[in-house]
Amino acid sequence: MSGITHPLHRFIRPSVSSTTNCPGCGNGIIAQSILRAVDQLGMDLEDFVFVSGIGCAAWIPSPFFNADVLHSLHGRPIAYALGIKMGLPEKKVMVVSGDGDLAAIGGNHLIHNARRNVEMIVICVNNRIYGMTGGQAGPTTPPGVMTTTTPYGSFENPFDISCLVISAGASFVARWTTVQARELTRSIIKAIQKKGFAFIEVFSQCPVQYGRKSGLNGSVQMMEDFRQRSIRVKKAAGLTEAELNNKIVVGELVDIEKPEMMEEIERMKAKARERAQ
């Protein structure tokens, strides 16, 4: 093995020697997509500050990425990220966290920062379950799925997180699954360059919890399920709601230009200085 190192190895914190992900977890694919995007843009991790919340996906940047990383509290990474952006507007601030963290306990910060359209990248790893705590239902768990807290099957409606973020006002929203790793990387590249709130939802497999609970079992079966159910956004546009039932609409759902909050703040400051004189 001596002399051979992975081309992305330079992005990994030197003190880290192993991963904490379960076998078959989608986290590795998403971590690689993020690092490939950084690499392909010719950027360095010093151009970034990473922020994560609590849950399995939060461990993608923390501690693995050799960068400034804030591993914050459950649900709050976007609020912390906003503070970091306020202090370091020239840096790229990227939040990586899960669906429970961002859309359940942290839902308020998600919609309000999408509304602010503040420049940051948010990668939401949607595994449709609480993995780290042992397979509880979340706001993304499909109806009927038996989890440790819905032993008779989930009886709630799930969120479509991307639609929620679009409605709240984000200027870039994409959705992919771990099967479309190359497309995901290309969308992350766009998100990093976006002047605005850039949100990417990634459906990811959790064979240990969701796989077992849903009956999909292993990682390969789960990814095969993603592949079969994925439908490109252009193709989906011509289909009815019934035809889209059980499909995962993938692609870049929104990519628009609109006022970004950091720039608006600079305008506000100029006004304040003018009035003070």
Partner 1 sequence: MGNEACAEGALAAGCEFAAGYPITPATEIANRLAVRLPQMDGVFLQMEDEISAMAVIIGASWTGKKVMTVTSGPGISLMSENIGFAVGVETPCVIVNVQRGAPTTGMPTVGVQGDVVQAKHGSQGDYQIIALCPSSPQEMFDYTITAFNYAEKYRTPVFILTDAFVGHMREEVVIPEAEAIERVFRKIPAPRTDPCTIKGFLDEDIAPMPIFGRGFKAHVTSSCHDETGKRNLIDLSSLDKFVRKLSNKILKHKEEITLVKRNYEGAEVVLVSYGPVARAAEAGARLSREAGLPAGTLRLITIWPFPDHEVEKMAKIAKKVIVLENNLGQLYPYIKSAAAPFAEVSFFPPRLIGQIQDPENIVRMIQEVLR
Q: What ranges make up the beta strands (E) of 127-262?
A: 172-177, 197-203, 230-232, 248-255
By CB under 8 A, what part of segment 169-198 binds partner 1?
A: none
User: Binding residue for partner 1 (CB under 8 A) from 40, 86, 243, 256?
Assistant: 86
Q: How far is the CB of 112 from partner 1 (least distance, A)?
A: 4
Q: How far is the CB of 55 from partner 1 (least distance, A)?
A: 13
User: Binding residue for partner 1 (CB under 8 A) from 36, 76, 128, 175?
Assistant: 76
Q: Examine residue 79 and tell whether it contacts partner 1 (CB under 8 A).
A: yes
Report residue 93: phi and psi, to 5°.
-105, 120
Span of 105-113, 157-165, 199-207, 227-235 interacting with partner 1 by CB under 8 A:
105-113
CB pairs under 8 A, 24+ apart, for 37-42? 37/185, 37/186, 37/188, 37/189, 37/192, 38/11, 38/192, 39/7, 39/8, 39/11, 40/185, 40/189, 41/189, 41/192, 41/193
Q: Examine residue 265 and tell whether it contacts partner 1 (CB under 8 A).
A: yes
Span of 78-86, 178-186, 216-224, 249-257 interacting with partner 1 by CB under 8 A:
78-86
* Contact status, residue 70 vs residue 49, Cβ threshold 8 Å: yes
Q: How far is the CB of 67 from partner 1 (least distance, A)?
A: 6
User: Binding residue for partner 1 (CB under 8 A) from 39, 91, 149, 224?
Assistant: 91
DSSP state of 238: T
* Contact status, residue 141 vs residue 158, Cβ threshold 8 Å: yes
Return residues touching partner 1 (CB under 8 A). 13-15, 45-46, 49, 51, 62-63, 66-73, 76, 79-88, 91, 108-109, 112, 265, 268-269, 271-273, 275-276
